[in-house]
Amino acid sequence: MPMSNLEVESFGKYISAIYRHSQILVSSRLKPFQIGSGQYIFLLTIAANEGISQKALSQQLAIDKTTTGKAIDKLEAQGYVWRKASSLDNRYKLLYLTDSGKLVVPKVKEILDELTSLILAGIDDTEYTVMMNILRKALFNIRELARTGGLESV
């Protein structure tokens, strides 16, 4: 590690705080649509992949099936998503947007784009690229640790 003699500040503290604060802002802005901060990612992923199975949605987002099911239940109750049994296998539920869901997606995207712009104020393109590359590397490293059994193998 390049920072051998330096006291390393916890980057996790910043990532966690950024996430928590951004979720508070997202929740506040999405409240009029009755979409929670934990549901919009499912809505947007379904919008980009209509007809995706609930299982594939869980895998794509790396979120457990129970959490995915609860989020889809809420989105369905709000009238944004509907389920259809797969014609190939009735055990699989395919997910689609309702007309209301199709109308709300652009509004959700607009809110997220606006918040992203505000959060990234003062960060230039080069800094953003470097930050994203570092975060991708850290994510790869932690996924590998999780895949191989974590710290026990180190």
44: CATH? 1.10.10.10
Residue 146 lies in a domain: yes
CA 13/CA 17 separation, integer angstroms: 6
Neighbouring-strand partners of residue 5: none
Neighbouring-strand partners of residue 53: 94
Query: Virtual CA dihedral for 5, 11, 12, 15, nearest 10 degrees?
Result: 180
Q: What is the pLDDT along the chain (154 residues), one digit of tens a residue?
A: 555 555 667 888 999 999 999 999 999 999 999 998 889 999 999 999 999 999 999 999 989 999 999 999 999 999 999 999 888 888 888 999 999 999 999 999 999 999 999 999 999 999 999 999 999 999 899 888 988 887 665 5
Residue 54 lies in a domain: yes
Q: Is the pTM of this model over 0.85?
A: no
Whether 74 and 149 map to the same domain: the answer is no
Residue 84 lies in a domain: yes
Are 97 and 48 in contact, with CB atoms under 8 Å apart? no
Q: Domain of 139?
A: 122-154
What are the b/e assignments for 21-34, b being 16+ CB within 10 Å? ebeebbeebbeebe
Whether 62 and 101 map to the same domain: the answer is yes
